[in-house]
Chain A
Amino acid sequence: MAIDYKKELESAAKNMIMIHEPDLLIKMIVRTIVQKVRVSHAAILLQQKEKNSYLLTVSRGRSGVRIPPAFARMDKDNPLIRIFLEGRNKKLFNNDGVLVYGEAQKLLKKKIPADKKELLRQALYQMELFGTVACIPSYYSQELLGMLLLGDKNDGKRFLRGELDFFLALSSDVAMAIRNAQLFRELAYEIDRKNRLFIHTTIALAAAIEAKDNYTHGHIGRVTALSLEIARKLALRNKLAQEEKFMHFLQIASLLHDIGKIGIPESILNKEGSLSDDERKKMQEHPMIGTMILQPIQELEDALLGVRYHHERYDGQGYPEGLKGEQIPLIASIIAVADSFDAMTTDRPYHKGFTKEEAIDEIRRSSGTQFNPQIAAIIIELFQEGKI
């Protein structure tokens, strides 16, 4: 039965767009070839990441003829690889880039340069080893990404020109799909790397604040961990907290919530005993100083709200703006609770820290006045569950 190659090619191309996983795609293609073209077996060799060898990844066909996946490899000095690497030398083959055993053997009898003849002889020997009668290379720009190996046709006939053209087109599309998938993965990795760089830079910045403030050792790390813990529980009942972005900004805001303390004199920050009214006023500037420092970084978006409003109170008696109730961004309400809990439970030179029970009692008492009741309820639950 004749195959509508154009149709097959179109359907293969369609699949390639839909599939980001090249492994799956390759398996599908090899299966299609074995079924539609009816060859004894088909296999694909793919260039490995280190680029010095090609691994036989997929093989289909009769038992005994198909080569188990990951069983065989070809190093880049393998003659069959070399002939395609150095090759792209179309004159070696009497067609455009496909190596067909029968035709190539005839070439051996013709007058061609001795070194090429030797390479071709060795390459044909490799084909024998793999039980392959046709090799179709897959190039992406100048790089050999892989190779399709085909066994005999089941009807014993030679491959037709149209069939070989079909395989060539298919294999160059496959190369494209593989390369796209690789680029896609690299991009994802790069984004991930940039994100980690950003978080680590933020942590370094947070450490700079801690270095200045004698009393807050470890505070930022604990507040961040607790804020995220609260948000994870909140996500079960609040849509906003379910967003990945929300968690990201919450992490950043928790790390940076006290960055404005950089602008507060150390004499105030590290003062033992209570602050005078002027000193307290100065101290209360830190959320706005932090906001001003971070404002130019557009990418911080909602994280800025956490820095700016983490000292607002639910009853509107907080600072810097006296926002009330739901006017206070959720991100800031979470940090406010986590920040207070940690401050209360930490020993200071002039007062011993509360126990966790005492701090939780205090949060319960101040729920709806100082704290957003929804968030207060969550930290109480976390405590009752023994998670903090």
Chain B
Amino acid sequence: MAKLLIVDDENDVREFAANFFRRRKVDVVTAANGEEALNMLDTQKPHLILLDVMMSGIDGVETLRRMRTKNKDVRVIMVTGRKPEENNTFKLCSELGALNYIHKPLELDELEQVVMTELKSINGVLEPKT
């Protein structure tokens, strides 16, 4: 089963997104901050990570940087409240190897599509549709 790690410091976002992907037969684990997420990288070994950029403590970009140092194959999609053209976060994340970039407020089908497409590209992790 595909395992998705959702990292966001807003409880409502974690809960909603977790529920959203569980309904799509994805095993979801969540982390409320960067440090928690870094620990879960080893303990949970998620196939894909949905990582919020604007977090208190270690922000998303720094979390991404540290994740890449730990495991250069980590697959991460960034989520942020800012539009990519508004700052250089997008560029920074791309350089750090983020797969994609979604900005809030987001369209739910975009969220679904971006995440599910990534999961599909990993062989055999998604359960066949019944």
Which residues in A have some Cβ–Cβ distance to B below 8 Å? 53, 55-56, 63-68, 70-75, 78, 125-126, 129-130
Cα distance, A44 to B16, chains bound together (Å): 16
Chain B 21-37 residues near chain A, CB threshold 8 A: none
Contact A129 B105 (CB under 8 A): no
Contacts of A67 on B, CB cut-off 8 Å? 12, 16
Contacts of A68 on B, CB cut-off 8 Å? 10, 12-13, 16
Contact B109 A70 (CB under 8 A): no
Contact A78 B107 (CB under 8 A): yes
Cα distance, A74 to B111, chains bound together (Å): 12
Contacts of B104 on A, CB cut-off 8 Å? 70-71
Contact A64 B105 (CB under 8 A): no
Top 9 A-B pairs ranked by shortest CB distance? A73-B105, A68-B12, A64-B19, A129-B108, A64-B15, A63-B15, A68-B13, A70-B105, A67-B16
Minimum CB distance partner of A53 in chain B: B105
Minimum CB distance partner of A56 in chain B: B105
Contact A126 B105 (CB under 8 A): no
Q: Does B112 contact A (CB under 8 A)?
A: yes
Q: Does B106 contact A (CB under 8 A)?
A: yes
Contact B112 A129 (CB under 8 A): yes
Interchain CB contact (< 8 A) of A71 among B11, B19, B106: B106
Minimum CB distance partner of B8 in chain A: A68
Cα distance, A72 to B17, chains bound together (Å): 11
Q: Does B18 contact A (CB under 8 A)?
A: yes
Chain B 84-118 residues near chain A, CB threshold 8 A: 104-109, 112
Cα distance, A53 to B104, chains bound together (Å): 13
Contacts of B13 on A, CB cut-off 8 Å? 68, 71
Cα distance, A56 to B12, chains bound together (Å): 14
Interface size class of B (residues with CB under 8 A): 10 to 19
Contact A71 B109 (CB under 8 A): no
Which residues in B have some Cβ–Cβ distance to A below 8 Å? 10-13, 15-16, 18-20, 81, 104-109, 112
Contacts A63-B11, A63-B12 given: A72-B19 contact, CB under 8 Å? no
| Pairs across A and B, CB under 8 Å, 6 listed | A56-B105, A63-B15, A71-B104, A72-B107, A74-B107, A129-B20
Contact A129 B16 (CB under 8 A): no
Cα distance, A53 to B19, chains bound together (Å): 25
Cα distance, A75 to B81, chains bound together (Å): 16
Contacts of A71 on B, CB cut-off 8 Å? 12-13, 16, 104-106
**A29 CB, min distance to chain B CBs, angstroms:** 20
**A386 CB, min distance to chain B CBs, angstroms:** 42
Cα distance, A76 to B58, chains bound together (Å): 36
Cα distance, A293 to B116, chains bound together (Å): 74
Contacts of A74 on B, CB cut-off 8 Å? 107
Minimum CB distance partner of B104 in chain A: A71
Contact B16 A73 (CB under 8 A): no
**B125 CB, min distance to chain A CBs, angstroms:** 22
Minimum CB distance partner of B79 in chain A: A71
Minimum CB distance partner of A69 in chain B: B12
**A41 CB, min distance to chain B CBs, angstroms:** 10
Minimum CB distance partner of B11 in chain A: A63
Q: Which among B19, B105, B106, B109 has the greatest number of chain A C-beta atoms within 10 A?
A: B105
Minimum CB distance partner of A78 in chain B: B107
Contact B109 A126 (CB under 8 A): yes
**B41 CB, min distance to chain A CBs, angstroms:** 24
Contacts of A65 on B, CB cut-off 8 Å? 16, 19
**A284 CB, min distance to chain B CBs, angstroms:** 61
**A282 CB, min distance to chain B CBs, angstroms:** 62
Minimum CB distance partner of B10 in chain A: A68
Q: A56-B105, A72-B105, A130-B108 are in contact. List 18 more A-B contacts (CB 8 A).
A: A53-B105, A63-B11, A63-B12, A63-B15, A64-B15, A64-B18, A65-B19, A67-B12, A67-B16, A68-B10, A71-B12, A71-B13, A71-B104, A71-B106, A73-B105, A78-B107, A126-B108, A129-B20
Cα distance, A272 to B55, chains bound together (Å): 69
**A120 CB, min distance to chain B CBs, angstroms:** 16
Minimum CB distance partner of A126 in chain B: B109
Cα distance, A74 to B108, chains bound together (Å): 8
Contacts of B11 on A, CB cut-off 8 Å? 63
